[in-house]
Amino acid sequence: MQGRLTAADGSTVDATLEMVRARLSAKDFFWLDLVGLDAESTDLLLHDFDFHPLAVEDAEQAEQRPKVDDYDSFTYLVVHGAGAGAGEEATVVVHIFFSDDHVVTVHRGGGGLLDGVRQRLTRRPGTAAGASPAVTTLYLVVDVLVDSFFPVLADLDDRIDELEDEILKQPTEAQLGELFDMKRTLVALRKVVTPERDMFARLLTGVSVLDGVTLEAERYFRDLYDHLIRISDLVDSYRDLLTGAMDTHLSTVSNRLNSVMKQLTIIATIFLPLSFLTGFFGQNFAVLTGHALVPAWSFWVFGVGLELAAVAGLLYLFRQRGWLGGPTE
Nearest CA-CA partner of 227 in 144, 163, 155, 305 = 144
Chunk the chain into consecutive blocks of 10 residues (it has 329) and report each block's average pLDDT, rounded to whole numbers: 84 88 88 90 92 92 87 92 64 91 86 79 58 87 92 91 88 88 90 92 82 83 93 92 88 82 78 73 61 62 76 79 59
Angstrom distance (rounded) from CA 257 to CA 323: 20
pLDDT attached to residue 204: 86
Digit-coded pLDDT (tens) for 184-208: 889 989 999 999 999 999 888 877 7
pLDDT attached to residue 316: 82
In degrees and rounded to multiples of 5, residue 146 shows phi and psi of -65, -45
Give the dihedral of Cα atoms 247, 253, 255, 256; nearest 10 deg: 160
Determine what percent of the chain falls in helix, strand and coil, rounding each to the nearest 5: 65, 15, 25
Report the Cα 218 to chain-centroid distance in Å. Answer: 31
Q: For residue 75, what are the β-bridge partners?
A: 70, 98
pLDDT attached to residue 150: 93
**CA 188 vs CA 10, 24, 41, 191, 329: distances in Å:** 33, 38, 29, 5, 46
pLDDT attached to residue 97: 95
Q: Please state whether the predicted TM-score (pTM) of the whole model is above 0.85.
A: no
Digit-coded pLDDT (tens) for 304-320: 777 788 778 877 877 78
pLDDT attached to residue 87: 44
pLDDT attached to residue 124: 56
Q: Which helix (H) or strand (E) holds 17?
A: helix 17-26
